[in-house]
A and B are shown apart, each in its own frame.
Chain A
Amino acid sequence: MRPIRRTRVGLVRSHTTTGGATATSRSSLDASTLLYPDLKAPLAELDPTSARVMNLLRTIGAMSISEAAAHLKIPFPFVVICADRLIDSGHVFAKAPTSAEQATAPGVDVLERLLHGLQQL
Chain B
Amino acid sequence: MGSNNSDIRSLTRDDISVKVVVLGAFGVGKTTLVSTVSEITPLTTEGLMTEHAVGVDELPGPSEKTTTTVALDFGRRTFSDIVLYLFGAPGQERFAFVVDQLMHGALGAVVLADTRQVEAAFPAIDRCEAAGIPFVVAVNRFDSAPLFPADDLRAAFALRPDTPLLLCDARHLASAVDVLVALVKHLMARRPLTEMEPAS
Chain A contact residues (Cβ within 8 angstroms of B): what range?
35 or more
- Any B CB within 8 A of the CB of A62: yes
Residues of A within 8 A of B46 (CB): 6, 69, 74-76
CB neighbours of A103 from chain B (8 A) = 18, 107, 187
Q: Give the chain B neighbours of A31 by CB distance below 8 A.
A: 19, 45, 47, 72, 74, 85, 87, 102
Tell me the dominant secondary structure on chain B's binding face. Answer: mixed
Taking a contact as CB atoms under 8 Å apart, the answer to whether A75 and B11 are in contact is: no
Report B's interface with A, CB cutoff 8 A.
Answer: 1-2, 10-13, 15-19, 31, 34-35, 41-48, 67, 69, 71-74, 76, 79-85, 87, 102, 104-108, 133-134, 173-174, 177, 180-181, 184-185, 187-188, 190-192, 194-195
Cα A4 to Cα B189 in complex, Å, equals: 37
Q: Give chain A nearest CB distance to B33 CB in angstroms.
A: 12
A98 lies within 8 A of chain B by Cβ: yes
CA of A98 to CA of B195, assembled, Å: 21
Tell me if A14 and B195 are in contact (CB < 8 A): no
Within 8 A of B (CB), among A58-75: 60-64, 66-67, 69-71, 74-75
Tell me, in angstroms, the Cα distance from A97 to B190 when the chains sit together.
19
Per the bound structure, the CA–CA distance linking A107 and B71 in Å amounts to 37
B87, A71: Cβ atoms under 8 Å?
no
Identity of the chain A residue whose Cβ is nearest the Cβ of B16 in the assembled complex:
A98
